[in-house]
Amino acid sequence: MPWQPTPYTVPLLVAGLASFVFAFYVLSRRFHGSRPLVRSFLGVAVGGGAWALAYAAQLSATTLGSTLFWNRFVWVGVGLLATAWPAFVAAYVDRPEWVRPPRIGVLAFVPAAVVAAVLTVGPVPLFYESPSMVTAEGGYLVVSFTPTPALLGFMAYTYVVNLITFVVLGRTAIHRSGVFRRQAGLLFLAGVIPMGLGVVTVWGPLGPPLVDLTPISFAVTSGLLAWVLFRYRLLDLSPVARKAVFTNLSDGIVVLGDDLRVVDANQRARELFPTIRLGDSVESAFEDAPAVVDAVRTGGTGDGAHATIESSDGPRFLTVSTHGLSAPGTATDGAGSGVVLLIRDVTERETLQRRYRALIEKSPNVIAVSGTDGYFRYVSPSVERLLGRGSESLEGRPILDLIHPDDRDESQRRFEAAFETGEPQTFEHRIAHAKGDWRTFETVVEPLFEDAANEVVITATDVTEGRRHEQRLQVLNRVLRHDLKNDANVIGGYADLLRDHVDEDGHEHLDVIDRKVETLTHLSDQAREIDVALHEDDQRVRTDLAVLVSRLCDSLETSFPEASVTLSTPDSAPISADEMLESAIRNVLENAVVHNEGDGAEIRVDVVDGDESGYRVDIADDGPGIPPIERTVFSEGRETSLEHASGLGLWLVHWIVTGSGGELNITNREPTGTIVSMWFPTADVDSETDG
């Protein structure tokens, strides 16, 4: 490929190499500026360098094909610069919303589309019409073309974007002072010079025809950027240092001069200390917070003071850290030495910590922290109430020393699993009381922090009395479910045998025995169902209430022919209820017949759409009604000596309905009778099980 010398080749090479040198320098150093600022600066340097070097190759080419080939890479540099420059300005003036991925995508959309079109379609016919090689006044060949509307539109877009960035930089230079004003002013020139030179050479009478001097001006831009970078620490200092860090910081900042008098204070500091005035001595400014004065006078660093001040909202807790201004490069414009106080309001954190501390100390459970070594690192004060041991006496001791020997292996395995898997481990074990007896605890062991597996928190609940109560209930339940039913069946069997050995007058007494046997047997069955209802997990299934009620009413009429049942149901009533729902409804239906003192019970059953969230079944009878004392037992929450086995079925219904997420309501019916209403929530659309 033949090449030609031009008057602009060397300046373009210098401009391009200078830009890439800047990019390499930035990559090789660690600056303290924000990442978007550094990255966008890299984009400006690389984009300008690519534009200049590619344009140097384009001007040096002698054929139309090679010229258009290098022109593609010119547009790559142009596209990168058109995105990086506005992003750089946005990062410099602290507009973070414009340097986040969504907004960067907006800035890059048009340039990226242009680059993609040029690389795939080519600059002809996208941007150039009728391109040809012509001889310039210096005797070198350049490409001549007619600009297309797409080219004119993209140039207008870049002009508008650049003008916006110039306005932003100009306002920044006007409203800032000192080093930041000089930074913004030089950046303003670094952006205006290339665009201005490009406008007057491309559209104006100045400059050689058909030659764009914009990339040549990058040499001047590089010089300005070098001055800002090295002299004014562009990538370390920005106007946001004064605006965002000082003025708008949520923490209070007070600057003290070398004589320890207040020279500046932000709004937050004035809110915390309303009497602070410029020129005040540190003693006068912090008269109500002597700990701050001590931290400044003693030259403390870090969290040098913890202060409490009174405000209209009550006491506020503060931490005050002190930082010297004598470090090289931290003071600006000869400010000299001094002290910066960073005042942080930690009232919310302190209040929360105190609240958690009180909750732990007053908790009915034992709360402890252990490391991987299996030793107590912290034990809550409640351990003294539950185990008769002081928390101080346990901290530093092995946990297993307190656990029953028979439970140590399982406890050790659970502790290790909590460390290895990071999952909570729940188990029961016996722990020694200071008096010598053993208490049963239900313990949960789980990691103290999600991102650290070197400590676990132990929450131990004393369930000794609860377990004893459960054992007693199990014994009583066995008596009701097995022994009582077996004995009742034996009594019933002997009563049947006696019928052949007594006269007619004795049959009446045998009938009483049969009824009582039937009652005891029914009581045993109810005890079994209650045991299932109380000990099984709440498993709700999808059930068609209309179908279930219809089937139970048919069964009731078969078992009690003398009863009259009137039924009204919709076509379907899908609900979500406990698996034992059938037992609850059957119990209500049978009670309506069994406890009816008339010749034939009249029962009306209605399944209605209670509202959009569920269905209700109303069971009305004409019997004597349910005694008020049995209806109020649910609100009382306990059985009393006035209630007896006849109310056991109501408890079963209550537990099943409430376990289904439903509601049970019992009302009187005029002139006589009872209405039992049970409401159940509508089944979810994606419920899997049908009952």
Between 51-55, 278-282, 331-335, 631-635, the lowest mean confidence (pLDDT) is in 331-335
Q: Where are the beta strands (DSSP E) in 327-437?
A: 339-345, 366-371, 376-379, 425-432
Please state, in angstroms and rounded to a whole number, the distance separating the CA atoms of residues 595 and 576. 30
Instruction: Write down the pLDDT at residue 617.
Output: 94
Higher pLDDT pick, 65 / 330: 65
Q: Give residue for tokens 């289904």.
A: 660
**Which of 161-165, 224-228, 383-387, 514-518 shows the lowest per-residue confidence on average (mean pLDDT)?**
514-518
Instruction: Report the DSSP pairing between strands 339-345 and 252-256.
Output: antiparallel
Tell me the helices (H) and strands (E) count for the chain, helix number first. 24, 19
Query: What is the per-residue pLDDT for 636?
Result: 54
Measured CA to CA, the distance from residue 482 to residue 488 in angstroms comes to 10
Q: What is the pLDDT of residue 403?
A: 92
Provide the β-strand partners of residue 302.
Answer: 322
Residues 391, 389: Cα–Cα separation, whole Å: 6
Q: What is the mean predicted confidence (pLDDT) over 189-193?
A: 88
In order of 221, 495, 519, the CA distances from 510 in angstroms are 117, 6, 14
Band of residue 453 on the pLDDT scale cut at 50, 70, 90: confident
Is 295 found in the same domain as 402?
no
- Residue 641 pLDDT exceeds 50: no
Q: Is the sign of the CA dihedral 531, 537, 540, 541 positive or negative?
A: negative
Res 524 pLDDT > 70? no
- The structure's pTM equals 0.41
Distances (CA, A) of 534 to 511, 527, 528, 664: 34, 10, 10, 17
pLDDT of residue 452: 67
Between the alpha carbon of residue 47 and those of residues 201, 314, 390, the distances in Å are 21, 57, 71
For residue 591, the one-letter residue type is: N
Q: Residue 330: its pLDDT value, please?
A: 39
Name the 3-class secondary structure at 452.
Answer: strand
- Do 215 and 133 belong to one domain? yes
Indicate if 285 and 315 belong to the same structural domain.
Answer: yes
Confidence check: pLDDT of 632 > 70:
no
Tokens, residue 205:
């009478």
Cα dihedral 466, 472, 476, 481 in deg (nearest 10): 70
Average pLDDT for residues 509-538, to the nearest whole number?
Answer: 66
Whether the per-residue pLDDT at 333 is higher than 50: the answer is no
Residue ending a domain, among 201, 231, 261, is 231
- Nearest Cα neighbor of 241 from 159, 183, 166 is 183
Q: What is the CATH number of the domain that holds 317?
A: 3.30.450.20
- If asked whether residues 507 and 386 sit together in one domain, one would say no
Same domain, 150 and 281: no
Whether the bond between 381 and the residue before it is cis, its omega within 30 degrees of 0, is no
Same domain? 432 vs 337: no
pLDDT tens digits along 282-310? 888 888 888 888 888 876 555 567 888 88
For residue 637, being part of any structural domain is answered with yes
Whether residue 24 is found in the same domain as residue 69: yes
When mean pLDDT is compared over 203-207, 288-292, 329-333, the highest value belongs to 288-292
229 closest CA partner among 26, 24, 476 = 26
Tokens at residue 674, please?
């009872």
Classify residue 521: in a domain, yes or no.
yes
Q: Are 664 and 553 in contact (CB under 8 A)?
A: no
- Extract the tokens encoding 558: 């078969």
Residue 46 shares a structural domain with residue 175: yes
Per-residue pLDDT tens over the stretch 661-689: 888 888 888 888 899 999 999 987 555 44
Residue type at 338 in one-letter notation? G
Residues 6+ apart with CB under 8 A from 391: 378, 379, 380, 381, 383, 384
The pLDDT of residue 73 is 92
Of these ranges, 95-109, 272-286, 333-347, 348-362, the one predicted with the greatest mean pLDDT is: 272-286
pLDDT in tens, 566-597: 999 999 999 988 888 888 898 899 888 887 77
The pLDDT tens digits for 615-631 are 999 999 988 877 776 66
Instruction: Give residue 332's pLDDT.
Output: 41
Query: Would residue 265 count as lying in a domain?
Result: yes
Q: Is the confidence at residue 644, as pLDDT, over 50?
A: no
Predicted confidence at residue 610, as pLDDT, reads: 67
Is residue 359, in this structure, part of any structural domain at all? no
Average pLDDT, the chain: 80
pLDDT of residue 147 exceeding 50, the answer is yes
- Secondary structure, 3-state, 320-350: EEEEECCCCCCCCCCCCCCEEEEEEECHHHH
Predicted confidence band of residue 339 (pLDDT cuts 50, 70, 90): confident
Tell me which residue has tokens 């040499």. Answer: 219
- Same domain for 489 and 458, yes or no, is no
**Amino acid identity of 374?**
G
Residue 601 and residue 564 share a domain: yes
pLDDT at 87 over 70: yes
For the cut 70, the answer to whether the pLDDT of residue 478 exceeds it is no
What tens digit of pLDDT does each residue of 349-369 get? Answer: 878 777 777 777 777 788 899
Q: Please state, in angstroms and rounded to a whole number, the distance separating the CA atoms of residues 33 and 113.
A: 30
Q: Which of 174-183, 239-248, 298-307, 330-339 has the lowest mean pLDDT?
A: 330-339
Q: Which of 40-44, 214-218, 363-367, 645-649 has the lowest mean pLDDT?
A: 645-649
Type of residue numbered 72: R
When mean pLDDT is compared over 18-32, 321-335, 449-463, the highest value belongs to 449-463
- Residues in the chain, total: 691
Say if 1 falls within a structural domain.
Answer: no
Total structural domains in the chain?
5
Task: Lowest mean pLDDT of 89-98, 269-278, 411-420, name the range.
Answer: 89-98
Q: Which of 177, 203, 231 is the last residue of a domain?
A: 231
In this model, does residue 171 exceed pLDDT 60? yes
Q: What is the CATH number of the domain that holds 159?
A: 1.20.1070
In this prediction, residue 425 carries a pLDDT of: 92
Picking from 584, 604, 601, the residue whose alpha carbon sits closest to that of residue 648 is 584
The answer as to whether 42 is a domain residue is yes
Mean pLDDT of 363-386: 88
Same domain assignment for residues 527 and 540 = no
For residue 421, the enclosing domain spans 365-462
* CA gap 33, 387 in Å, rounded: 57
Distance CA 307, CA 292 (A): 7
In-domain check, residue 686: no
Asked if residue 240 belongs to a domain, the reply is no
Residue 230 has pLDDT above 80, yes or no: no
In this structure, the answer to whether residues 254 and 226 fall within a common structural domain is no
CATH of the domain at 611: 3.30.565.10
Return the half-sphere exposure (C-beta side, CA atoms, 13 A cut-off) of residue 668.
7
Q: How far apart are the first and last CA of the chain?
A: 84
| Domain termination residue (choose one: 532, 548, 572) | 532
Out of 48-62, 69-83, 138-152, 291-305, pick the least confident: 291-305
* Per-residue pLDDT at 631: 63
